[in-house]
């Protein structure tokens, strides 16, 4: 498998990345992000609709939540739209959007967002593996812009953006470790990892699941090292797209 | 209102149009279409999953159906995703996707699509009025490409594509008649029309509703004439995008 | 088809009409209306439960909304009750009840209905084509009575009823134009129209859809003329049922 | 309370009854039944769609099921339509339609209905107490006609109708026992009973619930005696409506 | 059937009963109750969330409601969890939990529970017939403890517990009358009764349904007598479990 | 926090464990498992109902799936039952039952379960933290017994049980690492981990999430080491409960 990776890349390389900011005229932050053939439209929407638990508990901070969705023909065969015929959304979608939300809440200081709610929407226009990590990488840029909007419009006293977060998928395929799986790789992988880290090299999420192949602590450590390396490079790309010097 | 239309256009002009074909690697036909700031991603998906009524009645033809959806931040304030919390989709969405389906079934000969089902997905990435007519205009191009795919892959004996169809919105605002309303115009209009016509100048749908202002037969005739004129021009654009000489 | 229409009527005639007012002891207005074998029970219910958007926007007027439903055995074979097993109501039902609501909001002056909400319920007891137009024709009478109730009970300063509205279906069947289709005609028609007009000869809705046969502007004009003629006669019947001199 | 009962009746009398057979042109049996101001439209629909458990267990008999519904303005204030916004139907509706089904399965011999399914629909057009018992009383007549249809059309070898069933409500109000409660009586009653019996004086259902007042065995016996007396008279009315000599 | 009843018991005997109080550390009252192999976990939860109708009508009393549920493998073959895929809960579940609620509201004086709401949860861990009666018998003990909690914590001025209520199932099997049916008996019974009575020998519910066999008044009286006898014995067991002298 | 852990345990110790096998007479495998005050009833149900994707793809193996549920009063305040009012189950429940399913599919060889489906039900009777890990630990024992049932009843050629799997939660609280969090610890933890491993010391799942505190690779390694140690001890307890010598 590893000899013929897409875009002629080695096992430890992620796919070419393209970032288009301000792709939506309405949202406070918006990015179209592409990792190879995976394309995700991310928007950050500011409002003052706080979730019920914050109001009930009179908590002294704002909130950030995320929604994830695939267009029906994001995939090689068409999928039904979730929720159209009752029955709610799938477990996979729920898991992904909860992950995106947790990841990005680590990018901001919620206490600097009093009475402010940010909703991150990640809509997958085209899927070829790694949609949840691509979504996090794009959404963090949209979130940065939305935080600037809060500052510019005097909605916050201080900029709540704390630090960048980025994510990458890594797979274990027998003895090989592959970074940034595309769909054909992902669907046959032995074990599958998603790593989310911050700019300050702290781990936010580390989820490693055996699909077909359980694994040793040694493999886990290799996965970690390769993931961390990619995340550092992705954060550099996020900053470049925003014109921030490293 | 009519003196200050977007893009400096007259009452009888539609907005600048941009058509990007093959914007999706998986779909048998795909188009990103823009009318001014309204952007709709249209895909045509071929399958052999026929609806139950065709199987039950052993009908001798294929089928075409459409789904319409807005991304949550397609609009100036964020909308909830339909269907996520039960309760199904809104009446507005149902009406629109039924209209798109009826319109495009007039573009093909279903009897030349035996055992073939085509699903048109129209996802509004950004909305600024006229999303249903923009969707029809883009979807017809995606449908053309999907029909070519059927021919190229030997799935049909003859190309089922019959003729182009296009659509336009027209509004009655006191004495003025405005073509291709954008959102700020549409939300204050007296009466609202959607016209769908074919290349051969036959009417497919003519829907005229009084929102605030009922209207005379004379106005109805004026609406029709201006609509027909725009539709002819839109069909020319559809053909150009496909490299078809008129 | 046109030689053997039900009730021995010509292409331009509608079916025999029967109107029974005050068929319900609870509702502020109620009518059982029959067009041939189509029977619809219409009630108008007055309350002070305004929709959320009126409260949110602090609008200075009341509201009127409609619900449409068929009894399961209104049709020749039994249909399942909508909404019983989740999944909400059908697109057809939504389209119809939105049409009824829009039509009847043109019969009243909402600004004379401050803090007043009227719900129109149209329950089809027996269906034989033209249920939506029959519903509008009956509901307008129930609405008239409900407006009288508002006046009599001092709930409004002025009677909000503005003018009568009526509706008719017309079909295009090759070269023939047929008024007031019954079910056997409707299910094979080439193109299908619903026209809603007011007493003052203003158009409220004009919806013309190609089911099997697209059509020329000339046919559209013929449909309009025949529809208008029937609507004038129906409004006369509505007034007679209320004891109003023309 | 007992001195001023509606229709000047004594505690042991039920309200005036009106039965209109064949009120629906499509159904195999249909009755509009009125007990005072309570009006229920009952249809019996014949099909060959058997429930899954009969097919799974390869049972050697047909089935009968019932659905019950109130129109929104059957009551003095308008109720929402059940099931329209997800969440299914209410416990009250479920209880009633299960009761109607059980009651009427006792009127037929299911083994003489091989491959036959009958659905009873009871739609309350106007409610003034006793809707479930009125529904049973009307539905039994519609069921009789549907059984005749089965015989006439050769769908059964023998008529499956076995015997008439009828139902009555009885209330305990301190020391009084009231037969056939109307709504104003029912809403303040101490304890509430529904009795269903067959023509052969066998009990099918006897449901006695303390709403505000638990009761002694002696009261239970008085309730039973008055109920049985009414049921005999109702069965006579059912037969008369069908032209059957006692 | 009657010669070989479980636990070697006669037709008039109920199964061995086991009551384990305080089986839950969180609930204000909790009981695990077993009738033979039927095991139900009952909790009584105190809160101040009153139902909407009490708030709307500004009623001067508290409320008690009940929920009933079976674990999926409470039965010999696994059942799907209700409500998981939309469509709400079954009619059977609704009937049972409404019965439990009505029964237990007779055990308390709601006027002594101002601003207090008690929710009874009855979860069937293992089912072998009689789950609803077992649930009532256990829930009444949990309710007693919850009422003590109200007193101890000063949430009420006076203890709202009024008297014990208990329930039993009785079946008619041709000429035999069987008390406390287990599942194998229940699934083949001719007619099925649930009797709920209070400590003061007042009837709260008496529900007798013909499943396969309608029945005479004489049988109804026998059912009543045997039921009353069992209920007296069950109330003794309830009191013993609470250390109350008769 | 660490000085006063429940059951007087050190940071690296899990709570006292109690395992009761065969607690359900119907299920092919059943266990009531307790970790301190957390109590989960686990059943394994054997059937031949395979999921659709296995039938569609004609796969040559069986399947195992899991459902997780909390009783409403498993927690210190009562929760609503999921799914009762439409809207499906929560993201949390979905995540947990997907985790349990993935974990236990690693305990069996699905290819030795041809045409066999096993459903694991984990119902939390009482919750005090660690419900998902407790569920996995109990369910693995129930699964072992269900596999024995398959062998004993000749439903498989070879025992599909491969090896034991166990799970533990670990939390990072500033500098402390705490094993087997109870609820009061879990609700304030900085970062939260769930580790699932097999008897052969292979990792199946390693999920580490920053709730309030992102963490270093060094902490991640400490979490892993403590988790592995506990899991070895839990597998010993699983085997003891089954009478298996290590």
Q: How far is CA E185 from CA A55, A135, C123, E169, in A?
A: 53, 59, 45, 11
**Of B84 and C179, which is predicted with more confidence?**
C179
Establish whether E88 is an annotated binding residue: no
pLDDT digits (tens, 9 = 90+) for E121-147: 999 999 999 999 999 999 999 999 999
What is the per-residue pLDDT across D106-149, written as a single tens digit (0 to 9) for each?
A: 999 999 999 999 999 999 999 999 999 999 999 999 999 999 99
What band does C83 get if pLDDT is binned at 50, 70 and 90? confident
Report the distance separating Cα C86 and Cα C239, nearest Å.
41
Query: In this complex, do C203 and B220 lie within 8 Å of one another by their Cβ atoms?
Result: yes
Which residues on chain B are in Cβ contact (under 8 Å) with F87? 85-86
Assess F91–B contact: CB distance below 8 Å, yes or no.
Answer: no
Reduce the DSSP state of residue F34 to 3 states and report it: strand
Report chain C residues whose CB lies below 8 A from the CB of B210.
Answer: 102, 106, 202-205
Map residue E218 onto helix, strand or coil. Answer: helix
The model's confidence at residue B187, banded by pLDDT at 50, 70 and 90, is: confident
Write out residues in chain F with pLDDT < 70, as ranges: 1-3, 85-87, 246
Please name the member of F98, F202, F214 whose beta carbon is closest to the beta carbon of A203: F214
pLDDT of D1 above 50: no
Asked whether residue D172 carries a pLDDT value surpassing 50, the answer given is yes
Length of chain A: 246
CB contact under 8 A, B87 and F86: yes
DSSP state for residue D73 in the 8-state scheme: G
* Model confidence pLDDT, tens digit, residues D57-116: 889 999 999 999 999 999 999 999 987 765 578 888 988 999 999 999 999 999 999 999
**Beta-carbon pairs below 8 A across chains B and F:** 5
- What pLDDT shows up at residue D2? 46
Q: What is the pLDDT of residue C1?
A: 45
Question: Chain E within 8 Å of F53 (Cβ-Cβ)?
Answer: no
Which of A77, A92, A217 is the mutation pick for testing F, counting most F CBs within 10 A?
A217
pLDDT at residue number A2: 46
pLDDT by residue (tens digit) across E226-238?
Answer: 999 999 999 999 9
DSSP single-letter state for residue B2: G
Residue C86 forms contact with E (CB below 8 Å): yes
Across the interface, whether the CB atoms of D209 and E102 are under 8 A apart is answered: yes
Per the rule left: phi > 0, alpha: psi between -120 and 50, beta: everything else, C166 is beta
Q: How distant, in Å, are the alpha carbons of D62, D142, E220 from that of D204?
A: 20, 19, 11
Cα–Cα nearest to B119, from B134, B97, B137: B97
Q: Which residues contact B55 (CB under 8 A, 6 or more apart)?
A: none
- Cβ burial, residue F194 (10 Å; 0-12/13-18/19+): buried
Q: How far is C74 from chain D (nearest CA, A)?
A: 7
Among all residues of chain E, which has the CA nearest to that of D205? E209
For all residues of chain C together, what is the average pLDDT?
94
Percent of chain A with pLDDT over 70: 97
Measured distance CA(A84)–CA(D86) in Å, rounded: 12
Residue F24 C-alpha, separation from nearest chain E C-alpha, in angstroms? 7
Judged by CB atoms closer than 8 Å, whether chains meet at D74 and C26 is answered as: yes
pLDDT tens per residue across span B88-136: 788 889 899 999 999 999 999 999 999 999 999 999 999 999 999 999 9
Residue D29 confidence (pLDDT) above 80? yes
Q: Whole-angstrom Cα distance, residue D243 to residue D237?
A: 10
Q: Is D9 annotated as a binding residue?
A: no
Strands C38-47 and C117-126: antiparallel
Chain B touching partners, 3 or more CB pairs below 8 A: A, C, D, F
User: Residue B2 — pLDDT band, cuts 50, 70, 90?
Assistant: very low
C 135-154 residues with CB below 8 A of D? none
List of long-range contacts for E152-161, beta carbons under 8 Å, 24+ apart: E155/E46, E155/E116, E156/E112, E156/E113, E156/E114, E156/E116, E157/E112, E158/E112, E159/E112, E160/E62, E160/E108, E160/E109, E160/E110, E160/E112, E160/E113, E160/E116, E161/E107, E161/E108
Rounded CA-CA distance D220/D208 in Å is 8
Q: Decide if E71 and F121 are in contact by the 8 Å CB cutoff.
A: yes
Crossing angle between the packed helical segments D91-105 and D131-152, to the nearest 10 degrees: 40
Q: Which residue on chain D is closest to F86 by alpha carbon?
A: D87
Tell me the pLDDT tens digit for each residue of E149-190.
999 999 999 999 999 999 999 999 988 999 999 999 998 899
Please give the pLDDT value at position D117.
97
CA nearest neighbour of C69 among F125, D84, E166: D84
What pLDDT, on a 0 to 100 scale, did the predictor assign at position A246?
A: 63
pLDDT at A3 over 70: no
- Break chain E into its structural domains and give their ranges: 17-242
ipTM tops 0.95: no
Measure the CA–CA gap between B34 and C161, rounded to whole angstroms. Answer: 43
CATH number for region F17-242: 3.30.230.70
User: Closest by alpha carbon to C143, among C94, C109, C111, C98?
Assistant: C109
Measure CA B76 to chain center.
22
3-state secondary structure chain C: CHHHCHHHCCCCCCCCEEEEECCCCCCCEEEEEEECCEEEEEEEEEECCCCHHHHHCCCCCCEEEEEEEECHHHCCCCCCCCCCCCCCCCHHHHHHHHHHHHHHHCCECHHHCCCCEEEEEEEEEECCCCHHHHHHHHHHHHHHHHHHHHHHCCCCCCCCECCCEEEEEEEEECCEEEECCCHHHHCCCCEEEEEEEECCCCEEEEEEEECCCCECHHHHHHHHHHHHHHHHHHHHHHHHHCCCCC
Q: Is the pLDDT of residue E113 over 70?
A: yes
> What's the gap in Å between the CA of D89 and the closest CA on chain B?
14
Determine the distance from the C-alpha atom of residue B94 to the mean position of all C-alpha atoms in its chain, rounded to a whole number.
14
DSSP element (H, E) containing A165: strand A165-173
In F, which residues are within 8 Å of D87 by CB distance?
A: 85-86
Test the B interface: residue of F82, F85, F87 with most B CBs within 10 Å: F87
Tell me whether residues F91 and A98 touch, CB distance under 8 A. Answer: yes
- pLDDT reading at B1 higher than 50: no
pLDDT at B3: 60
For residues E70 and A228, give the distance between their C-alpha atoms in angstroms, rounded to a whole number: 48
How far apart are alpha carbons B183 and B162 in whole angstroms? 33
Q: Per residue in B218-227, pLDDT tens?
A: 999 999 999 9
Tell me whether residue B131 is annotated as binding.
Answer: yes
More confident residue, B56 or D68: D68
How many other C-beta atoms are found inside a 10 Å radius of the C-beta of residue A218?
A: 8
Q: What is the C-alpha to C-alpha distance for residues B27 and B70, in angstroms, rounded to an integer?
A: 19
Mean confidence (pLDDT) of chain E: 94
What confidence score (pLDDT) does residue F202 get?
A: 94
Q: What is the mean pLDDT of residues E4-14?
A: 95
How sure is the predictor about E2, in pLDDT bands with cuts at 50, 70 and 90? very low
Min Cα distance A243 → chain F (Å) is 27
Give the lowest-confidence range in B79-88, C52-61, D41-50, E48-57. B79-88
Q: Indicate the range of A109-113, E110-114, F51-55 predicted with least confidence.
A: F51-55
B86 lies within 8 A of chain D by CB:
yes
The angle subtended at Cα E79 by Cα E75 and Cα E84, nearest 5°, is 140
Nearest CA of chain A to the CA of F95: how many Å? Answer: 6
Q: Which of D89, D95, D204 sits opposite E95 (nearest CB)?
A: D95
State the Cα torsion A188-A190-A196-A202 to the nearest 10°: -160
User: Cα separation of D100 and D133, whole Å?
Assistant: 8
**Contact of C104 with C51, CB cutoff 8 Å:** no
Percentage of chain A exceeding pLDDT 90:
84
Burial class of residue E166 in the structure, from the number of CB atoms within 10 Å of its CB (0-12 exposed, 13-18 middle, 19+ buried): buried
């Amino acid at each position: 498998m590893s000899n013929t990776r897409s875009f002629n890349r080695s096992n430890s390389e992620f796919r070419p990345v393209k970032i288009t900011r301000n792709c939506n005229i309405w949202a406070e932050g918006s990015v179209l992000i592409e990792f190879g053939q995976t394309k995700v439209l991310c928007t950050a929407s500011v409002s003052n609709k706080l979730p019920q638990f914050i109001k009930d508990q009179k908590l002294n901070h704002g909130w950030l939540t995320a929604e994830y969705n695939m267009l029906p023909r994001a995939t090689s065969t068409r999928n039904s739209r979730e929720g159209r015929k009752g029955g709610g959304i799938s477990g996979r979608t729920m898991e992904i959007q909860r992950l995106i939300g947790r990841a990005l809440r680590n990018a901001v200081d919620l206490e600097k967002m009093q009475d402010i709610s940010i909703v991150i929407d990640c809509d997958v226009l085209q899927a070829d593996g790694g949609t949840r990590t691509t979504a996090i990488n794009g959404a963090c840029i949209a979130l940065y812009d939305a935080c600037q909007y809060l500052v510019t419009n005097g909605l916050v006293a201080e900029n709540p953006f704390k630090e960048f977060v980025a994510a990458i998928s890594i797979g274990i395929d027998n003895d090989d470790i592959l970074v940034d799986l595309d769909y054909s790789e992902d669907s046959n992988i032995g074990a599958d990892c998603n790593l989310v880290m911050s700019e300050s090299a702290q781990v936010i999420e580390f989820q490693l699941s055996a699909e077909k192949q359980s694994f040793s602590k040694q493999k886990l450590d290799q996965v970690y090292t390769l993931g961390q390396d990619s995340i550092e490079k992705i954060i550099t790309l996020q900053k470049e797209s925003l014109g921030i010097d490293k």
